[in-house]
Amino acid sequence: EPKKALQVIQRAYAMQPQNTVTLELLARCFLELKQPLKTASVFNELLKIYDRNGDMKNLNRVRSDLQRL
């Protein structure tokens, strides 16, 4: 269930807000809960991290996901 998962993921996010795995899961929860503005916000944070790390594969994937919102 996305709502239950969201509670757990938000605790993980509070401890490690730059963790891309946590952010990816957080975006997925918001997407499942039909919260596009929150999903976009998380995607934008992921874009910054992937850009800073030079991770073009994930940067392009998240950019594509963001455009589909």
Q: What does the pLDDT look like over 10-33, one tens digit per residue? A: 999 999 999 999 999 999 999 999
Per-residue pLDDT reduced to its tens digit, 25-67: 999 999 999 999 999 999 999 999 999 999 999 999 999 999 9
Residue 51's pLDDT is 98
The pTM assigned to this predicted structure is 0.92
Neighbour-count burial of 1, counting CB atoms closer than 10 A to its CB (0-12 exposed, 13-18 middle, 19+ buried): exposed
Question: Would you say 21 and 49 are in contact if contact means Cβ atoms under 8 Å apart?
Answer: no
Q: In terms of residues, how long is the chain?
A: 69
CA gyration radius, the chain: 12
pLDDT band at 2 (very low <50, low <70, confident <90, very high): confident
